């Protein structure tokens, strides 16, 4: 830290993104990206938009906002786009948390919540997951805090039913509840259907996973018009052109190719079920997942050692060096072929590992 940096950041530990190695090619199952390319129209529209990059992008994201509102059955004023869902989550922390309104989220969840809270000097509470790594919805009633819940959760993959989410929203009427649905397209009912009934509910989603646009950086937040107007005010105070023209065009193309997205999600779910079964046969504990990844652990090998052994065999997964997650690796679900390579590599590693 230079001597000019504000001391308020002296203890900040930034988010650590998953590896994006350039030195060799890996079977990349470490950052929950899609193994499939962006849809044909997403690619075509982005290329076309490249021809007008001398112009600023549309700060209102007019066309894509209209399209998503139509697809999701809401008003355009109930949605705001951002540079990945990371950005709209950050806007929510900025707008709806402060010294008097702390944040609350599970102790094992998306790592950025803690970083955002620390960066903004927002006090926060972390509620431990239960012994089976699930979120207990009862513990999120009447919190008096701004609630952040990833549903399905990461890196566990656990999904809370819509009834449980509604209970949480209903029991915190004076606080905003943010449901992060980055993985909802791989299994689960979206809480978007509740936004007309609750003025304290916000739901975030992303184009990074099911729509194969992680590198485009496109995410959105849905909610009551007044909440969205607050977030828009914040966006226009920082970076009105937060979504670039090529990404906006790619996103619109992806929305016009919804069938392609649905097909890909179906393949991921099938591959997830197959891989889970294969790993269980090898003696792994695999948590139930409604996402495009699984958390799997084996009593004979630590997460870190399995990660290292797989990397040597050209397969990247992710491990977390924390007490409860140490025994596990998080494996992104790829193509059928990639998952077959993974399971046969794991099989060999277990044979050789003493």
Chain residues in the site for ligand PMP (CB under 6 A): 84-86, 110, 150, 154, 180, 182, 206, 208, 214, 219
121, two tokens: 């000097």
111, two tokens: 């790592």
Tell me the β-bridge partners of 146. Answer: 103
- Would you say 180 or 185 has its CB closer to ligand PMP? 180
Dist. CA 221–CA 219, nearest whole Å = 7
Minimum CB separation of residue 347 from ligand PMP in Å reads 28
- Would you say 18 or 336 has its CB closer to ligand PMP? 18
Minimum CB separation of residue 253 from ligand PMP in Å reads 17
- Would you say 79 or 154 has its CB closer to ligand PMP? 154
Dist. CA 152–CA 129, nearest whole Å = 13
Minimum CB separation of residue 111 from ligand PMP in Å reads 9
Dist. CA 268–CA 125, nearest whole Å = 34
Minimum CB separation of residue 327 from ligand PMP in Å reads 21
Using CA atoms, how far residue 283 sits from 155, 172, 280, 318, 341, in Å, is 20, 42, 5, 19, 18
Angle, CA 343 vertex, CA 341 and CA 345 arms, to 5°: 65
- Would you say 36 or 309 has its CB closer to ligand PMP? 36
User: Which residue is listed with tokens 């021809």?
Assistant: 51
316, two tokens: 């990247």
Minimum CB separation of residue 86 from ligand PMP in Å reads 3
Q: Is the dihedral of CA 38, 39, 44, 50 positive or negative?
A: negative
Are 350 and 299 contacting, i.e. CB atoms less than 8 angstroms apart? no
304, two tokens: 């870190």
SS3 138: helix
- Would you say 86 or 166 has its CB closer to ligand PMP? 86
- Would you say 214 or 256 has its CB closer to ligand PMP? 214
Dist. CA 134–CA 118, nearest whole Å = 25
- Would you say 179 or 342 has its CB closer to ligand PMP? 179
Dist. CA 332–CA 260, nearest whole Å = 20
Give the residue nearest to ligand PMP (CB): 84
Minimum CB separation of residue 18 from ligand PMP in Å reads 8
């Amino acid at each position: 830290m230079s001597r000019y940096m504000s001391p308020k950041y002296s203890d900040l530990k930034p988010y650590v993104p998953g590896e994006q190695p350039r030195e060799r090619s890996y079977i990349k199952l470490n950052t929950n990206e899609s193994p499939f390319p962006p849809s044909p129209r997403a690619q075509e529209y982005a290329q076309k938009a490249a021809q007008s990059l001398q112009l600023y992008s549309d700060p209102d994201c007019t066309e894509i906002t209209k399209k998503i509102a139509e697809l999701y059955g809401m008003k355009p004023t109930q949605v705001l786009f951002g540079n990945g869902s990371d950005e709209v989550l950050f806007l929510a922390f900025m707008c709806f948390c402060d010294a008097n309104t702390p944040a609350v989220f599970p102790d094992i969840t998306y790592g950025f919540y803690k970083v955002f809270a620390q960066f903004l000097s927002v006090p926060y509470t972390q509620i431990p997951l239960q012994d089976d790594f699930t979120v207990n919805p009862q513990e999120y009633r009447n919190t008096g805090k701004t609630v952040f819940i990833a549903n399905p959760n990461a890196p566990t993959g656990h999904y809370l039913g819509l009834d449980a989410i509604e209970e949480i929203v209903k029991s915190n009427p004076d606080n905003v509840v943010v449901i992060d649905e980055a993985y909802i397209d791989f299994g689960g009912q979206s809480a978007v259907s509740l936004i007309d009934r609750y003025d304290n509910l916000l739901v975030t989603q992303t184009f990074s996973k099911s729509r194969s646009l992680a590198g485009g950086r496109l995410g959105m937040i849905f909610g009551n018009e007044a909440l969205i107007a607050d977030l828009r005010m914040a966006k226009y105070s920082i970076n009105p052109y937060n979504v670039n023209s090529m990404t906006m065009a790619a996103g619109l193309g992806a929305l016009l190719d919804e069938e392609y997205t649905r097909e890909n999600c179906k393949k991921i779910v099938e591959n997830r079920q197959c891989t889970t079964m294969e790993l269980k046969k090898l003696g792994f504990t695999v948590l139930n997942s409604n996402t495009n990844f699984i958390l799997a652990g084996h009593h004979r090998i630590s997460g870190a050692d399995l990660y290292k052994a797989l990397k040597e065999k050209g397969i990247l997964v992710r491990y977390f060096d924390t007490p409860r997650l140490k025994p596990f690796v998080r494996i992104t679900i790829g193509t059928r072929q990639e998952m077959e390579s993974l399971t046969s590599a794991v099989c060999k590693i277990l044979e050789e590992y003493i």
